[in-house]
A and B are shown apart, each in its own frame.
Chain A
Amino acid sequence: MSITYLEAIREAQAKLLREDERVFIYGQDVGGVFGGAFKATKGLAKEFPNRVLNTPISEDAIVGTAIGAALQGMRPIVEMQFADFSSIALNQILNQAGTHYWRTNIPVPITVRLPSGGTKGSGPFHSQSMESIYAHYPGLIVMTPATVEDAYTMLIDAVAIDDPVIYCEHKYLYYHLKAEKLPDKGLPTGRARIAREGRDLTIVTYSAMVQESLAVAEELARENFEIEVVDLRTVKPLDTDTVLASVARTGRLLAVGESFPWGGATAEIIARVTSEGFHLLDAAPVRVNAKDTPIPYHPNLWSTHRPGAKLIAQKARALLKE
């Protein structure tokens, strides 16, 4: 018996609906017999017909509605059909949910699920990784689970948190990633995880790039390099302590993210390490991101645009020679 990353997300929501009557799911095509574009809510509307609700194609109003419900004590989970479409809801997420606690002292406990990241053939508008945009703005927690276990426990944690949580689930991991069983409890929110121990170089990454980086660590192990992989789990808050402790062990930092290169999570990681741990570094830190173009449709182009294991390994080897 094995369970996928996608099934873990559905199981987490089923558990939340069963155990917490404040929870409801709101989004495009999540209800009825359909159960979502990726089936992350399949079967849930049958069990909870009034709490798994289809919406019009109105991302702004979907999030606005969730905010209003949260202010009245509910714990809504919004499913954006694709992370890319959350751009339409940026105003509600950033300016309404993100400012509310600071302005009024009343937090907004919404969870916004963003099916994120690239998959083959998805093109410019169904592939984006939005975590850096949301992390940039105050008032939001940004989760980027990279394992089946984290996909499950972090979604349950997200709903329990009193503040707005942007939960970036990676579509590439939906079916690829499997686990034997689901845990009751994960690491605390905001704590990074050492996904693989090593002493020659630290790769700090999150979401689907954790799997790519682990593959690179395996490959370089055959060349007698021991690569440490840090899975951030949440990009905001960013667990700087765990990152610095790892860099203290290895002296080399490679920051890897799937999103666009200007600014963002990888830039933040490097800024913090150079600012707080410059003395720990034996070489200039390096980062790996997607290219600074829209995400291409054709697999030949996409596989070059996306920072996969090949590019990460190449950058890691160069950094190890520094």
Chain B
Amino acid sequence: MLQTAQRGKKSKKTAPEKAAATKPAVHERFLEAFRWMLLSRTLEEKLVSLYRGGHITGGVYIGKGQEAVSVACGLFLQKGDIFAPLIRDQAGRSAFGEPLVDVARTYLGSRQGPMRGRDGNIHRGRPGDNCLAMISHLGAMVSVVVGSLMAKRLRGEKNFIGLSCIGEGGMQTGAFHEGMNIAAVEQVPLVIVATNNHYAYSTPNDREFACADLVERAVGYGFEGYSIDGTDLNTCLEAIGSAVQRARAGRPPQLVVASALRLSGHGEHDDASYVTDEIRRQPFAQDCVKLAEKKIVDLGLVDAAKLQSWKDDARKQVDDAMATAQQEAAPEGAKEDWCAISTRELADQPE
């Protein structure tokens, strides 16, 4: 993990690994995180196959390669915390507590899902349970989390934080800039986790920004910043866990920038042919799920049979969720309640 002031140095993985090898509690956390990653990977493989089979209308957007960062975002949040996941945060959403059937219902357009067919794919959430429903306009969720935290503070609540995910693409929007600045002005307990997945759709980093490392911006905003290797699960758990702890302890807002290549297209309609071979050979192009599994095997944290049973269990959970959603009724235009406001008597009726 790099602190802002140490930009340019290579991330040191040896220390956390040593810690992992000597602390059983850390092992437990690593294994728990790995299982959420596995579940996310299994779920998204299923979504891709359903998409290819023509069973999903609209797009499928997966977080392959970014599960280690994402799971760490969801894992350290507690009841009362606010989570604003983004496009590639299936692992984090699951770790935060999103039921798999919410995903299945939203992708398959079930009327019983949280979005009831009114919105699809990754544009889902349960704001009543503090999991915000992202809009497509990047950067727009940051200030919404800030406001949620201000409300909690105004009401005198204690020990809450907010965590909002973003990518290096979204970091270039005006909304993100305004959100970061207002977060620091309001001094809310916020953690921003930015994954540099090296492409904004097809546009590589050199056409996205011109600073050496995006974490440099932390100082400018009044955040504390850390730059990490997003392919290493232990690093992600250490860095994001610590950032969450610091925010909870009343330190300034935290920015963690993780580097991990998106191992898919922007959506499944995109073959990502623009990703160069040179990029694919970089350390940040490693598959975090494979790396974590290798570590589990190398350290002998669980045996092969156990690993296999976890994989089987993930597949079963995914299949069950999909089967449930597939049996449910789709919404119908003629029966839909076409009212966009809750105060029904104030609905405008042009005809």
Contacts and interface: CB of A to CB of B under 8 A. Distances in A.
Given A69-B150, A103-B118, A64 B175 contact: yes
Contacts of B118: 102-103
Which size bracket describes the interface of A in this complex? 35 or more
Given A50-B154, A60-B175, A60-B178, A95 B140 contact: yes
Contacts of B178: 56, 58-61, 64
A64 B119 contact: no
Given A55-B182, A64-B144, A104-B114, A95 B175 contact: no
Contacts of A68: 82, 143-151
B133 interface: yes
B174 A67 contact: no
A189 B145 CA distance: 31
A240 B185 CA distance: 45
Nearest to A190: B346
Interface string B222-246: 0000000000000000000000000
Given A61-B181, A104-B114, A95 B137 contact: yes
A190 B144 contact: no
B340 A101 contact: yes
Contacts of A104: 114-115, 125-128, 133
A308 interface: no
Interface string A269-281: 0001001100000
Interface in A234-280: 236-238, 240, 268, 272, 275-276
Contact of B146 (A65, A161, A189, A276): A65
A188 to B, nearest CB: 9
A81 interface: no
Interface in B337-351: 340-343, 345-351
A98 interface: yes
Contacts of B148: 68-69, 71-72
A64 to B, nearest CB: 3
A276 B351 CA distance: 8
B154 A91 contact: no
B135 A72 contact: no
B181 A56 contact: yes
A65 B151 CA distance: 9
Nearest to A239: B348
A69 B179 contact: no
A74 interface: yes
Interface string A191-226: 000000000000000000000000000000000000
A67 B346 contact: no
Interface string B44-69: 00000000000000000000000000
Nearest to A236: B348
Given A72-B152, A102-B340, A66 B147 contact: yes
Contacts of B152: 72
A107 B151 CA distance: 16
A64 B147 contact: yes
Contacts of A58: 143, 178, 181-182
B341 A107 contact: yes
Contact of A163 (B119, B127, B143, B342): B342
A51 B114 CA distance: 33
Contacts of B146: 61, 64-65, 68
Contacts of A238: 348, 350
Interface in B140-193: 140-152, 154-155, 174-175, 178-179, 181-182, 185-186
A24 to B, nearest CB: 7
A77 interface: no
A137 to B, nearest CB: 9
Interface of A: 24, 50-51, 55-56, 58-74, 76, 91-92, 95-96, 98-107, 138-141, 161-163, 189-190, 236-238, 240, 268, 272, 275-276
15 contacts: A56-B182, A58-B181, A60-B179, A68-B143, A68-B151, A98-B340, A100-B127, A102-B118, A103-B119, A104-B126, A163-B342, A163-B343, A163-B346, A237-B347, A237-B348
Interface of B: 82, 114-116, 118-119, 123, 125-128, 132-133, 135-137, 140-152, 154-155, 174-175, 178-179, 181-182, 185-186, 340-343, 345-351
Given A58-B143, A63-B143, A72-B155, 20 more contacts: A55-B185, A60-B143, A60-B178, A61-B179, A61-B181, A65-B144, A65-B147, A66-B147, A68-B144, A68-B150, A69-B151, A71-B127, A91-B137, A104-B114, A104-B126, A105-B116, A107-B343, A138-B340, A163-B343, A268-B350
